[in-house]
Amino acid sequence: MEPDPQQLVNAEGESLTVDQAIANLCQTADGGLRYYAAWWLGRFRVSESEALQALVAALEDENDRAPDGGYPLRRNAARALGKLGDRTVVPALVRCLDCDDYYVRESAAQALGALGDERAIAALRSLLAGGVAAAVAVPGKPHLVQPYNAVLEALGNLAARDAVSDIAPFLAHEVAQVQNAAARALYQLTGDAAYCDRLVDRLQEPNLQLRRSAMMDLGAIGYLPAAGAIAATLAENSLKLIALQGVLETHLQQSGFPTAGLTAEARQVLGLMDELL
Amino acid sequence: MSCNQAEVNQRQGRKLLAMIMIGAGSGVGATIAELIRAIDTADSKGAMVVAVNQLAAAQDAAAIPTLITVLGYNNPGASVAAVNGLAALGDAAVPALLEQLDGYNYGARAWAIRALALIGDPRALSVLLDTAKGDFALSVRRAAARGLGNINWSLLAPDQRAILQENVLQVLTEAAISDPEWVVRYAAVAGLQGLAIAWVEPNCQMSPLLNCLERVCWNDDTAAVQARARLALEALAS
C-alpha cells in the first residue's frame, strides 16, 4: 500500500523547500526521502529544470525496489512529471511504457495523457495490441496485463482519432471500469453523446466503486447533461463535488467565463454543488 | 470474482437499493425502541441504511443518541440518513451533537459538523469557527465554512450577535482567500453570501465582505471558485 498523498501534504507538505526536495531526490542513501521528494515536486508543481532532470533520472532508478519487484520511485516520478506540464519529458515517459512494472506503465500512461503531446499516441496504442482477447488478468495480481484504463483515457485526452477502431471493442470488455474508460475516450474522440449516456446509466449501478468511477469519468470529460444525475447518485459528497467541478469548469471555459457572465446552466450546477457542501 | 457471482451481487445490490428507496416509509407503526433494535441487529451495510432511514423518519428526540452513534460506523449511506435525521430534529439535537463530538474519528466528526452546519444553531458557532479555521480534514473545513453562512442569528442578543458575526466574517474571508483546497474556498464564499443575507444591521461590514468576494472572483486560480464568487456578488447586488 502506498502512502496517501493527502495525508503527507497535511502532515509535512509545507516543510520542504524546493532546493531541499531536489537535493533529496538526487541523493541515493535514503530511499524514503527520494520517494517523498518526487511526490512533493509534483504536488507543488515545481517545474524548474533541475527538478525535471532529477525526475527524469528517477524514471530509470534501480535502487528503490518493491517486494513485488516494482519500482516505486519510478511510479512517483512519472506521476509528478504528468503534473509539471513540460513536454520535453515525453520521450522518457514513452520509454516507461515498456517497463516490467505495471504501475510504472500506468503512471506513465496517465502522465502522457495529462501532458497532451501526440508523440505518445503510437506507443500508447501499442499497449492495446491484441485487443480485448489479450486484455486478460495477470494471475495472482489485482490488475490486467496492461493499464487499459489509463491508456484509453490518455488516447481520449490526446485526441487520437485514428485510434477509435482500436478503442471501440473495449466497450465490451468484461471489466466495467474498462468499458467506462472506453466510453469516455470515444466521447472525447467522436463527440457522440450516446457514449456518455452509458456512463450516466452507470450512476445507478448497485456497486459503489462503479458509480464512483463513472462519476469521475463524467466529471473529467465535463459532460454537462450529467450534472443532475451526478448530484443525485449515492456516493460521497466530496467526490460528487470534484465531478461537478469538472462539469462546471468545462462549461465555464466553453462559455467564455470570466469575460462572459454566468450562464443559466452554470448557475444550475453551482446550485447543485452548494447542496453538497 | 466469477461472472455468476458478480451477477448475484448485482441483483442483491439492486434489491437493496430498492429497499432503501422505499425504506423510509415502512417503519411506520414501529416504536422507537424497535427501530433502534433494527439498527443494532442490521446484518449488512444496506440493511443498516434502511434501518437508519426509518429511525430518522420517525423524527423523535429519543433517536438522537443512536443517530449520533451511527455517524461513526463508516457507512456513508447510513451517515447521510443520520445527518438528515439529526438536522430535521434541529435545535433538540445540538447539545448531544456538541457533547459527543469525537475529536479522534475524523469521519464521525465530519458528519456531526455537517449536521450542526445544517441546523445553524449559534451554540455550535465556536466549534464551527475553530473547524473552518484549522481542521485537518478538508471535508470538515468545507462543511463548517458552509455552516457559518447558515446561522440562525435571531437566537442571539444584538450585542452578542455583532461580535460573533465579526468573528464569522474574519474566519470566512480568511478561508475564502487562503485555504489551500478549492472546495473549502468555494464553501467559504457560499458561507459569506449566507452571512451577508442574514445580516440584520444594514451595511455594517458589507464592504470587507464584498471586497473579499471581488478578490476571489478575479484572482482565485480555480474557475469553479471564481464562478461561485460571481454568483454571490450578483445575488448581493440585486
A236 touching B (Cβ < 8 Å): yes
Q: Which of A38-47, B17-26, B88-97, B173-182 has the lowest mean pLDDT?
A: B17-26
Q: The complex's ipTM?
A: 0.82
A274 touching B (Cβ < 8 Å): yes
Pairwise CB contact (< 8 Å): B183 & A174 = no
**Residues 56..115 of B with a Cβ closer than 8 Å to A: which?**
76-77
Residue-wise pLDDT tens digits, A230-255: 999 988 889 999 999 999 999 999 99
- The Cα B190–Cα B229 span in angstroms is 8
Q: Which of A183-187, A246-250, B15-19 has the lowest mean pLDDT?
A: B15-19
Taking 50 as the threshold, does the pLDDT of residue A1 lie above it?
A: no
Q: Which domains does chain A have, with CATH numbers?
A: 1-115 (1.25.10.10), 116-192 (1.25.10)
Mean pLDDT taken over chain A: 92
- The Cα A196–Cα A188 span in angstroms is 10
B12 touching A (Cβ < 8 Å): yes
Each domain of chain B, given as residue ranges in start order, spans 1-119, 121-238
Assess contact for B195 and B209: CB atoms under 8 A: yes
Q: How far is A140 from chain B (nearest CA, A)?
A: 13
Which of B3, B187, B226 minimises the CB distance to A277?
Answer: B187
- The Cα B89–Cα B33 span in angstroms is 18
Taking 50 as the threshold, does the pLDDT of residue B138 lie above it?
A: yes
The partner residues of B146 in beta bridges, in order of sequence, read: none
Q: What are phi and psi of A137, to 5 degrees?
A: -70, 150
Q: What are phi and psi of B152, to 5 degrees?
A: -85, 85
Domain B121-238 listed as CATH 1.10.3470: no
Taking 90 as the threshold, does the pLDDT of residue B136 lie above it?
A: no
Give every CB contact of residue A258 below 8 A, 6+ residues apart in sequence.
Answer: A252, B217, B218, B223, B226, B227, B230
Owner of C-alpha cell 437508519: B52
Owner of C-alpha cell 525496489: A65
Residue-wise pLDDT tens digits, A122-179: 999 999 999 999 999 999 999 999 999 999 999 999 999 999 999 999 999 999 999 9
pLDDT of residue B109: 86
Chain A residue numbers touching B138 (CB-CB < 8 A)? 238
Taking 70 as the threshold, does the pLDDT of residue A269 lie above it?
A: yes
pLDDT of residue A37: 95
Q: How far is A10 from chain B (nearest CA, A)?
A: 7
Return the ∠ at Cα A71 (arms to A68 and A74), rounded to 5°. Answer: 160
Give the nearest chain A residue to B134 (CA atoms).
A10
Pairwise CB contact (< 8 Å): B223 & A241 = no
A238 touching B (Cβ < 8 Å): yes
Which of B10, B139, B227 minimises the CB distance to A257?
Answer: B227
Pairwise CB contact (< 8 Å): B224 & A249 = yes
pLDDT of residue A2: 41
Chain A residue numbers touching B218 (CB-CB < 8 A)? 258
Which pLDDT band holds residue B87 (cuts at 50, 70, 90)? very high
